[in-house]
Structure 1
Amino acid sequence: MDVRPATVFDDVRAVIGPKNPGSNVCWCLSYRIPSRLNNELRGPARGALVEELCAATPPPGVLAYDGDEPVGWAAIAPRSETTFARNRKIPQLDDLPVWSLWCIRVRPGHRGRGISHALIDGAVEFARANGAPMVEAYPLDNRGAAVDRTMAYAGIRRNFEAAGFTHAADTTSTLAGHPRVLMRLDLREDRRAP
């Protein structure tokens, strides 16, 4: 599985865009932009903003590829550039310029092959390459219970633990009936060192 920065808009659209361009789907903007703008952007304007983000430095996340086919997406950005910077349910632990990893999506037909793990690792490497000292995620603490796939975008705790993240704080946020926890991975020390 190859994970690359999300610079190709058509590939991002293939993973998180709507089948009907006029649909009002998330496009992974709901945590990226202020609520008012998120509510005002409708239909094709949402995709147009994502296209601009794909051309920006850094781009809005990473994509997983199976050969040349985009099969997965992870949204990651500095927390200060997201609504998590002001979120009352997910605490801000300190003043470190952490990056937030908040959405993982694997296309139907490609699930169950470890793509979400590759996306987490790829997003961490992307953040590291862009100078992030720490990556945060806010996954579901589902304790093995089933999670509705449409609400599993936040990821699940055990997948982040497998990637080396540790529990940093509880939150008052819930999603699909499961509590969300704040998990962190410190990039200031190379975890691959002997």
Structure 2
Amino acid sequence: MADGVVTESVSASTWRDLQTVFGTKGDPAGCWCQWFKLSRADWDAATREETRARLHDQVQAGSPGVIARIDGEPVGWAAVEPFSAYPALGRSPITRRKEGDPEDPWAVTCFVVRLEYRKRGVARALLAGALEHARERGATVIEGYPVDPEVRPSLSAAERYHGTVSLFRDGGFEVVRRPSATRAIMRRELQS
């Protein structure tokens, strides 16, 4: 992995480390990767404590993603589960299924990298970890829904939580369509 970054699937034993990654300030501390799992009304009504509790329950029930570490310190997270685990993906005009799309591919929906660990290859390691995580659970196709800062360089760090087109391209994904100028649907087939 890049710069000594190692990844593993999250589990009940990694919950405290995951809390460190999400922190107490900024967008990750409010989202806890529930944006794609809730209806808009439920999202608007949810408190930080409720979104944190929902992710806690999801981690206890299974493994909804991967965590990254550098020298044992938790530094990042990527959410990866089947498309069907994210109801909001099916409702979004950006990500809803089109004719010819695989019905239920695995989806990498977001990345969180602690501010002080950015630009050290953590997102690349997380994407590689997400691929392995999905493959180990039987995935044959995986998608990402990244933004394209080459088209709009002014994208903020907060807007890049989907990952970037170059990140996914470097991870072996191909653009299958462009639902907007700054967004892409990217896909990769996984070998067993």
Q: Tell me, in whole angstroms, the C-alpha distance in 2 between the residues paired with 1:18 and 1:45.
A: 14
Match of 1:80 in 2: 84
Unaligned runs of 5+ in 2: none
Q: Tell me, in whole angstroms, the C-alpha distance in 1 between the residues paired with 2:139 and 2:38.
A: 20
Q: Judge conservation of contact 1:17–1:25 (CA < 8 Å) in 2.
A: no
Q: Judge conservation of contact 1:9–1:50 (CA < 8 Å) in 2.
A: no
Q: Judge conservation of contact 1:165–1:184 (CA < 8 Å) in 2.
A: yes
Could you tell me how far 1:70 is from its partner in structure 2?
0.5
Report the CA distance shift for 1:25/1:168 in structure 2 as closer, same or farther (over 3 A).
Answer: same
Could you tell me how far 1:64 is from its partner in structure 2?
0.3
Could you tell me how far 1:73 is from its partner in structure 2?
0.7
Query: Normalising by the residue count of structure 1, what TM-score does the alignment of the two structures yield?
Result: 0.85
**Residue 161 of structure 2 corresponds to residue 153 of structure 1:** yes
Which of 166, 172, 175 is 1:167 aligned to?
175
Over the residues paired in the alignment, what is the CA RMSD in angstroms? 2.1
**Residue 54 of structure 2 corresponds to residue 64 of structure 1:** no
Unaligned runs of 5+ in 1: 173-177
Q: Tell me, in whole angstroms, the C-alpha distance in 1 between the residues paired with 2:115 and 2:57.
A: 26
Match of 1:117 in 2: 124
Which of 125, 131, 141 is 2:148 aligned to?
141
Report the CA distance shift for 1:95/1:116 in structure 2 as closer, same or farther (over 3 A).
Answer: closer
Could you tell me how far 1:24 is from its partner in structure 2?
7.1
**Residue 18 of structure 2 corresponds to residue 16 of structure 1:** no
Q: Judge conservation of contact 2:33–2:79 (CA < 8 Å) in 1.
A: yes
Report the CA distance shift for 1:106/1:96 in structure 2 as closer, same or farther (over 3 A).
Answer: same
**Residue 42 of structure 2 corresponds to residue 34 of structure 1:** no
Report the CA distance shift for 1:35/1:24 in structure 2 as closer, same or farther (over 3 A).
Answer: farther
Structure with larger RCO (C-alpha < 8 A, sep 6+): 2
Q: Read off the aligned partner of 2:182 and give its amino acid letter.
A: P
